[in-house]
Amino acid sequence: QVQLVESGGGLVQPGGSLRLSCTASGDISLINTMAWYRQAPGKQRELVATITGGGDTTYLDSLRGRFTISKKQKSFHLTMDSLLPEDTGVYSCAIDRFFSDCMYKGDMDFWGKGALVTVSS
């Protein structure tokens, strides 16, 4: 059984940076897509960024240039720069065997439990 564990969340001041990590255990040899989602207080969950096994990336348009997704072996990361208070939320990692529009609906094979990111002075 695959398990995902996030780390790196916490409190950061506006303008600061934070790096989230998601580490997978189990067999992920069939996994093609790794993704980060976030859910801000009172808002719906949204897809933040994805990276495929081949290294292709996608980003939520409003975050392009501030957030960077990367991967190495069984871990993938979300580096967040120039953080804003509206970036506050629970960030969850997820993986899937496919790269499809289903990821926009949150239809992923495996999920982490989430990490809280709070951007506040």
pLDDT in tens, 22-39: 999 999 989 999 999 999
Share of the chain above pLDDT 90, in %: 88
Residue 8 confidence (pLDDT): 96
pLDDT score for 87: 98
**Which residues have C-beta within 8 Å of that of residue 70, sequence separation ≥ 6?**
51, 76, 77, 79
Confidence of residue 1 (pLDDT cuts 50, 70, 90): confident
- Between 29 and 69, the more confident residue is 69
Q: Find the mean pLDDT for residues 78-82.
A: 98
Does residue 101 have a pLDDT over 90? Answer: no
* pLDDT tens track for 29-68: 899 999 999 999 999 999 999 999 999 999 999 998 999 9
Residue 53, Cβ density class (10 Å: 0-12 exposed, 13-18 middle, ≥19 buried): middle
